[in-house]
C-alpha cells in the first residue's frame, strides 16, 4: 500500500495546482463537485452500513441556511467561521434526527430521512420572512481568515477553502474507516443481527456513522453555498438527495476517494449533458444510472480495482 499512501496527498497537490491553471468555469465545476463529493462521502458511509439516506438534503440545506443566516443576521463574513457554523448546525440536525432515524433500516430509513428533509423544505418555503421563501438568500463573497477577497478572486478562494475542507474531511473519515467502529460498518451491512449477537455495538456504530455522515453533508452544503453565492429551498428537496445517492452509487463504496471521484465525473457529465441536451439531460443521467446498476454492480471503481488486483495478486 505504499503507492496508496502517496496517492492522496499527490492528488491534493495536483488539484491545488489545477486551481491556478484551469479556466474559471472549470474551477467552479470542480469546487461544486468536490463540495458535493463530501456530501456523497457521507451518503456512502451510510451505504457501508447498508442504509440509504434519501434525505441528505436536510444537512446540505440546513448547513447552507445556517451559514446564510449567520451572514444575513449577524453580518458574519469569515469563511472558517461559516464552515464551522454550518457543520455544527448539521451535527445538531443529525444528532437529533439520528436518535429516531438510526433505529430504522432499509426502506423505512430511506423514507424517514426523506420525510425529515421535506419538513425542512417546507419550513424554508413557508418561513418567508427569514428565509426569503422560494427566492432563497444571497450569499456574498466571504473573507478568508480575516483577509478581504476581491470579488473576481472569490471563486478561486472558495476553491481553496473547499480543497482544504476536503483534505480535513478525508483525514477524519479515513481515521474512522480504519478504527474498530469503522470496521463494524461492513459487518453490520452483511448481517446486523449476527453482529449484535457477537456483542458488537450496532446502534452506537449506526448512530455515530449517521452523525458523521450528517456533518459531511453540512460541510458540503456550506461550501456549495459559498461557491454558488445563493441558496434556495431546493437544496432540501428530495431530488437533490436522490442525486447524492446516485453519485454515491456511481462511485461505489470501495473507498474514501470513490465519492469524490464519482462527484467529479458526475458534475462534468452533468454540465456537458446539460450543455448539449438541455431537454434530455435527466434522461441521459437516468440511463447512465441504470447502466451502472445493471452492468457495474460495484460502481465505476470496481472494474478498475479488479484489473489492479489481477495484475498484483
Partner 1 sequence: MATVTIIALDGLIFASWLFLVSAGLTLVYGVLRVLNIAHGSLYALGAYTAATLVIAYSHRGLWPPGTLAVLPLAAVVVGAAVGPLVERGILQRIYAREQILQLLATFALFLILEDAVKLIWGPSPYYAYRPYALLGQVRLGGVVYPVYSFLLVLVALSAGALLWLFVTRSRFGRLVQAVIHDPEISTTLGINLSRVYVLTFSLGAALAALGGAFTAPMISVVPGIAVEVIVVAFAVVVIGGLGSLPGAAVGALLIGLVRAAAIHLVPVLELFTIYVVMAVVLLARPHGLFPPPEVRRI
Answer for which of 207, 208, 244, 246 binds partner 1 (CB under 8 A) is: 246
Provide the minimum distance between the beta carbon of 32 and partner 1 in the complex, in angstroms, as a whole number.
19
Answer for which of 26, 88, 125, 269 binds partner 1 (CB under 8 A) is: 125
Cβ-contact 139, 83 below 8 angstroms: no
Provide the minimum distance between the beta carbon of 308 and partner 1 in the complex, in angstroms, as a whole number.
24
Site residues for partner 1, 183-212, by CB under 8 A, read 191, 193-194, 197
Q: By CB under 8 A, how many residues form the interface with partner 1? A: 44
Cβ-contact 147, 76 below 8 angstroms: no
Q: Looking at residue 22, what DSSP letter applies? A: S
Cβ-contact 58, 93 below 8 angstroms: yes
Identify the helix (H) or strand (E) that includes residue 281.
Answer: helix 281-295
Q: Is 282 one of the binding residues for partner 1 (CB under 8 A)? A: yes
Q: Is 300 one of the binding residues for partner 1 (CB under 8 A)? A: no
Q: Is 134 one of the binding residues for partner 1 (CB under 8 A)? A: no
Q: Looking at residue 234, what DSSP letter applies? A: G
Binding region for partner 1 (CB under 8 A) out of 30-38, 62-70, 260-268, 287-295: 287-295
* DSSP line for 176-226: HHTSHHHHHHHHHHH-HHHHHHTT--HHHHHHHHHHHHHHHHHHHHHHHHH
Quick one: CA torsion of 53, 287, 37, 171, rounded to 10 degrees?
Answer: 80
User: Collapsing DSSP states into helix, strand and coil, what is residue 137?
Assistant: strand
Binding region for partner 1 (CB under 8 A) out of 14-22, 45-53, 160-168, 262-270: 45-53
Pairing of strands 137-138, 230-231: antiparallel
Q: Which residues bind partner 1 (CB under 8 A)?
A: 47, 50, 52, 100, 103-104, 106-108, 110-112, 114-116, 118-119, 122-123, 125-126, 191, 193-194, 197, 238-239, 242, 245-246, 249, 279-283, 285-287, 289-290, 293-294, 297
Amino acid at each position: 500500500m505504499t503507492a496508496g499512501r502517496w496517492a492522496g496527498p499527490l492528488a491534493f497537490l495536483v488539484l491545488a495546482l489545477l486551481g491556478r491553471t484551469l479556466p474559471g468555469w472549470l474551477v467552479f465545476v470542480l469546487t461544486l463537485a468536490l463540495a458535493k463529493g463530501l456530501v456523497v462521502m457521507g451518503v456512502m458511509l451510510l451505504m457501508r452500513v447498508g442504509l440509504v439516506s434519501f434525505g441528505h438534503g436536510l444537512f446540505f440545506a440546513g448547513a447552507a441556511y445556517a451559514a446564510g443566516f449567520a451572514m444575513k443576521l449577524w453580518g458574519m463574513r469569515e469563511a472558517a467561521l461559516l464552515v464551522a457554523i454550518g457543520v455544527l448546525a448539521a451535527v445538531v440536525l443529525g444528532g437529533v434526527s439520528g436518535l429516531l432515524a438510526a433505529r430504522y433500516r432499509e426502506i423505512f430509513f430511506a423514507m424517514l430521512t426523506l420525510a425529515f428533509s421535506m419538513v425542512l423544505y417546507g419550513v424554508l418555503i413557508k418561513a418567508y420572512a427569514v428565509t426569503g421563501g422560494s427566492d432563497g438568500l444571497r450569499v456574498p463573497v466571504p473573507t478568508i481568515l480575516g483577509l478581504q477577497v476581491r470579488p473576481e478572486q472569490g471563486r478561486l478562494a472558495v476553491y481553496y477553502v473547499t480543497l482544504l475542507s476536503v483534505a480535513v474531511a478525508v483525514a477524519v473519515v479515513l481515521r474512522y474507516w480504519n478504527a474498530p467502529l469503522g470496521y463494524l460498518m461492513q459487518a453490520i451491512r452483511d448481517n446486523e443481527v449476527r453482529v449484535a449477537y457477537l456483542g458488537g455495538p450496532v446502534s452506537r456504530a449506526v448512530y455515530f456513522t449517521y452523525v458523521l455522515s450528517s456533518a459531511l453533508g453540512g460541510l458540503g452544503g456550506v461550501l456549495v453555498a459559498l461557491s454558488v453565492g445563493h441558496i434556495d429551498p431546493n437544496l432540501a428537496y428530495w431530488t437533490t438527495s436522490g442525486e447524492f445517492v446516485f453519485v454515491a452509487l456511481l462511485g461505489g463504496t470501495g473507498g474514501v476517494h470513490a465519492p469524490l471521484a464519482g462527484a467529479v465525473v458526475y458534475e462534468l457529465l452533468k454540465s456537458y449533458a446539460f450543455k448539449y441536451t438541455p431537454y434530455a439531460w435527466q434522461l441521459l443521467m437516468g440511463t447512465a444510472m441504470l447502466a451502472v446498476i445493471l452492468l457495474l454492480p460495484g460502481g465505476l471503481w470496481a472494474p478498475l480495482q479488479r484489473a489492479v488486483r489481477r495484475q498484483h495478486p
